[in-house]
């Protein structure tokens, strides 16, 4: 038996699931190969750690904690939020926002400010600017 | 009463019936969380989150797979998210473990009261090796090996949870086991070199 084959059999060897012939071969290999023997020692170490973690029991009050958490949770289970609703909601919000912006622009364009009623009287419009004498000239005289 | 009937009752409004599912699957979810987090308190908290999450999305359970498979998927996703988030906080976690000796995870292997403290330390070091080696595996390999070793699930059950084939799970498990062996051997070698250096330093110091 070579090292690779021996190491592949560790799990079955450890759990006693190997046929007696193969078990004898693994035994013999572990007896002569220090590398595989060390590797098997580390394998059993890992198995021990895993089984000790596996044997840890959950908090006896976990069920109560969970049920309290559920009572406090905002989303009741029977309120089915369908995927349709989940997709539709943001789409509707986006459409409403875009519509509001477009309406704002259009309303801005339609709006015409009321023209000033203080138009220049006709008499003033007829005044010939060239004929008006400078105030300076008048004071000098 | 089977799981599907219980779920129908819960969906009809009798939320208290969720307790039946919690009591039935609590230890299973907790074990999975323990495999990923290696700490009892953290595993308890995450198991609680998993059940609340399952409750909130219970209406989306279509019954295409077993409830346990569906619950395992939620648990595995929650564990992976948690480990991804906490990977950046490893240093703080280690510091916390050192400061808070009451932490359960690190003393995973029980020891006798009159046992040699050095032996206890070495044992705790070994526990850390195994935990670190497990944590350093790629996510899919880690998930497969945790479901196989901690929850003792068959390759078929793991394949259902991971939405893959039995062959793929077998390959994942083989790679994970090989990788674990290599990582542990490497740690062991490194540790032996470190010890040798320590011994030579001490003996040199004595001579001088």
User: Taking CA atoms, what residue in A is nearest to B11?
Assistant: A78
ipTM: 0.76
Instruction: Indicate if the pLDDT at residue B205 is higher than 90.
Output: no
pLDDT of amino acid B153: 94
What is the rounded CA–CA span in Å between residue B69 and residue B158? 9
User: Taking CA atoms, what residue in A is nearest to B152?
Assistant: A54
Percent of chain A with pLDDT over 90: 25
Are B51 and A57 an interchain contact pair (Cβ–Cβ within 8 Å)?
Answer: no
User: Taking CA atoms, what residue in A is nearest to B188?
Assistant: A42
pLDDT of amino acid B106: 45
pLDDT of amino acid A73: 75
User: Taking CA atoms, what residue in B is nearest to A75?
Assistant: B56
Model confidence at A102, pLDDT cuts 50, 70, 90, reads very high
pLDDT (tens digit per residue) in B16-48:
899 999 999 999 999 999 999 999 999 999 999
Q: How many CA atoms lie within 13 A of B51 on its CB side?
A: 29
State if pTM tops 0.90: no
Instruction: Indicate if the pLDDT at residue A141 is higher than 70.
Output: no
Are A52 and B108 an interchain contact pair (Cβ–Cβ within 8 Å)?
Answer: yes
Q: Which residue has the higher pLDDT, A124 or B16?
A: B16
Mean pLDDT confidence for A68-82 = 67
Mean pLDDT of chain B: 83
Q: What is the DSSP string of chain B?
A: --HHHHHHHHHTT-GGGHHHHHHHHHHHHHHHHHHHH--HHHHHHHHHHHHHHHHHTGGG--SSS-HHHHHHHHHHHHHHHHHHHHGGGHHHHHHHHHH-TT-SGGG-S---TTS-HHHHHHHHHHHHHHHHHHHTS-HHHHHHHHHHHTS---HHHHHHHHTS-HHHHHHHHHHHHHHHHHHHHHHHHHHHHHHHHHHHHHHHHHH-
Model confidence at B95, pLDDT cuts 50, 70, 90, reads low
Are A54 and B38 an interchain contact pair (Cβ–Cβ within 8 Å)?
Answer: no
B48 vs A contacts (CB less than 8 Å): 62, 65-66, 69
A58 vs B contacts (CB less than 8 Å): 26-27, 30, 43-44, 47
Determine which of A4-13, A118-127, B97-106 has the lowest per-residue pLDDT on average: B97-106
pLDDT of amino acid A57: 92
A45 vs B contacts (CB less than 8 Å): 126, 129-130, 184
Minimal Cβ distance to B26: which of A52, A63, A69 = A63
B149 vs A contacts (CB less than 8 Å): 50, 54
pLDDT (tens digit per residue) in A103-123:
999 888 887 766 655 667 777
């Amino acid at each position: 038996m070579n090292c690779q084959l021996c190491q592949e059999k560790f799990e079955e060897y450890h759990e006693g699931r190997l046929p007696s012939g193969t078990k004898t071969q693994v035994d013999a290999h572990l007896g002569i190969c220090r590398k595989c023997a060390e590797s098997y020692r580390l394998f059993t170490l890992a198995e021990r750690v895993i089984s000790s973690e596996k044997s840890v029991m959950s908090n006896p009050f976990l069920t109560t904690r969970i049920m309290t958490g559920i009572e406090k949770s905002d989303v009741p289970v029977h309120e089915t939020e369908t995927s349709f609703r989940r997709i539709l909601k943001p789409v509707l919000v986006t459409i409403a926002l875009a519509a509001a912006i477009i309406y704002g622009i259009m309303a801005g364009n339609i709006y015409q400010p009321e023209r000033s009623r203080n138009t220049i009287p006709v008499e003033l419009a007829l005044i010939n600017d060239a004929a008006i004498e400078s105030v300076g000239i008048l004071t000098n005289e | 009463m089977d799981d599907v009937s219980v779920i129908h009752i819960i969906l009809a409004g009798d939320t208290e019936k969720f307790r039946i599912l919690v009591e039935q699957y609590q230890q299973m979810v907790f074990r999975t969380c323990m495999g990923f987090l290696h700490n009892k308190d953290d595993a308890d908290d995450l198991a609680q989150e998993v059940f609340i999450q399952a409750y909130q999305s219970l209406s989306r359970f279509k019954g295409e797979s077993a409830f346990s498979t569906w619950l395992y998927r939620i648990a595995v996703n929650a564990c992976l998210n948690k480990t991804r988030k906490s990977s950046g906080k490893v240093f703080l976690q280690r510091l916390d473990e050192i400061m808070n000796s009451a932490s359960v995870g690190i003393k995973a292997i029980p020891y006798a009261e009159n046992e040699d403290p050095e032996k206890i330390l070495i044992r705790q070091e070994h526990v850390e090796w195994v935990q670190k080696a497990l944590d350093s595996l790629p996510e899919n390999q880690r998930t497969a090996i945790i479901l196989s070793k901690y929850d003792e699930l068959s390759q078929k059950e793991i394949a259902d949870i991971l939405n893959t084939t039995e062959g793929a799970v077998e390959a994942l498990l083989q790679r994970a086991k090989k990788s674990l062996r290599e990582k542990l051997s490497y740690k062991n070698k490194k540790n032996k070199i470190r010890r040798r250096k320590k011994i030579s330093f001490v003996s040199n110091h004595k001579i001088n």
